Amino acid sequence: MSPMGAMFDVHSGRLTPMGAVFNLNNPAHVVHWHFIQLSVSNIVVIAVMLVVFALAIVIPFPGAARRQAARERWRGEP
């Protein structure tokens, strides 16, 4: 498969959009620990959710300081 987002179709002789970046034509890889069984793809999604959650708390929201200053000016506070 091409990393360019397309693959060559031998029947039509054209580049066609590919369905997935990775080859999905095989059973899913799973992590099995006691009664817990998770596919690797699901583990990756859960990890990304945790990272996004942490970043959402840490990264400042754009314009927050400007809006807070405007609120304080509006209320006449220093």
Partner 1 sequence: MTPKRSWTVRTREAAVGALPPEKLLPDDQPAYVDSWIYVFGVATLAGLIVIIGSGMILSLKGPAWWHDTGVGHFFNSIHLWAVELFFFTMVVHLWGKYWMAAWRGGRTRVWVTGAITFLIAIPAALTGYVSQQNFDAQWISTQAKDAMNAIGAGAFFNVTNFGQMYSWHILLFPVAVVALVAGHVLLVRRHGVVPPFELSARTGAAAPSAAAPSGAPHADPPVGGGGAPS
Site map 49..68 versus partner 1, x via CB under 8 A: x--xx-xxx-x-x-xx--xx
Closest approach of partner 1 to the CB of residue 31, in Å:
19
Rule CB under 8 A: say whether 37 interacts with partner 1: no
Q: Which helix (H) or strand (E) holds 21?
A: none
The residues near 50 (Cβ < 8 Å, ≥ 6 apart) are none
3-state secondary structure of 28: coil
Pick 36 or 57: Cβ nearer partner 1:
57
Using CB under 8 A as the binding criterion, the count of chain residues that bind partner 1 stands at 17
Buried b (16+ CB within 10 A) or exposed e, 35-54: eeeeeeeeeeeeeeeeeeee
Q: Which residues bind partner 1 (CB under 8 A)?
A: 45, 48-49, 52-53, 55-57, 59, 61, 63-64, 67-68, 71-72, 75
